[in-house]
Amino acid sequence: MEAINSGKKPDLQVLLKLDMVENELVLAEVSRFLPQPDKEIIDWKKLVRICKDCFDERYNFFFDGRDDTTNTARLINIKLGKVPILGIQVIRGRVTVSALDLFDNDFYRFFRICELVIPLRISSRQIIEEFLKNTLDLRSMVEKIIAMTVDVKDEINLLPVLVDRTPSSSIMSTTYSPPRSF
C-alpha cells in the first residue's frame, strides 16, 4: 500500500508484511531543525491526510475478496477501526507521536499520544534516561499495534471468500450523446 495522494509520500514508513503485501503502520514527516514558520502546520496536515489514506487502504486490502456484509465481519471491522495508524512528526528538536483511528466506529480521530524532546545537548543523565524510556515506550506501542493488526487480519482470513460473480446479461446501459449544434 502507499499513500493515495500522488507525490504525497511520507519521509519514513514502518511497514508490516502480511499475505505478501506491505501494510503501513507508522508514517513520519521529518523537517529541518530550523524550518520555515508554516512548515510545522503543512507537515501536520500532510501527516493527517496520509494517515487517513493508509487507514482506508488497510480496510480495502484486508477485506479484499472477503464477505464483509455479515455481522461477524462488521464486528471485525469495528475491531480494525480501533487499530491505529501512527503518525510521527519530527521538527525543531521534538518528536510528536499521534495516532489515527475511528472513534465509536463513526468518525476519524487524530490525537496526540506523546511528545519527545530530542536531547541535542547532553545536560544531565536524567534527560537522556527519560528520552530512552519514552522511545522504548514508543517501541512497545508499535509492537502492540503489530499484534492487534495481525490478530484482526487472522480473523478476517476466516471470513468466507466471495465467489466470482459473472455480470448479468440483463444490465441496462444508457448512452449519452451531446446535442449537435446546427
* pTM, to two decimals: 0.78
Domain ranges of the chain: 12-157
CA 139, 118, 132 angle in degrees (round to 5)? 40
Judging by beta carbons within 10 Å of its beta carbon (0-12, 13-18, 19+), is residue 173 exposed, middle or buried? exposed
Rounded to a whole number, what is the distance in angstroms from the first to the last CA of the chain?
Answer: 51
Beta bridge partners of residue 18, listed in sequence order: 21
Judging by beta carbons within 10 Å of its beta carbon (0-12, 13-18, 19+), is residue 24 exposed, middle or buried? buried
Residue 2 has pLDDT above 50, yes or no: no
3-state secondary structure the chain: CCCCCCCCCCCEEEEEEECCEEEEEEEEEECCCCCCCCHHHHHHHHHHHHHHHHHHHHHHHHCCCECCCCHHHHHHHHHHHCCCEEEEEEECCEEEEEEEEEECCCEEEEEEEEEEECCCCCCCHHHHHHHHHHHHHHHHHHHHHHHHHHHHHHHHHCCCECCCCCCCCCCCCCCCCCCCCC
Per-residue pLDDT tens for 30-89? 888 888 888 888 899 999 999 999 999 999 999 998 988 899 999 999 999 999 999 999
pLDDT at 32: 81
pLDDT at 143: 95
Per-residue pLDDT tens for 93-131? 899 999 999 988 889 999 999 999 888 887 888 988 999
pLDDT at 177: 45
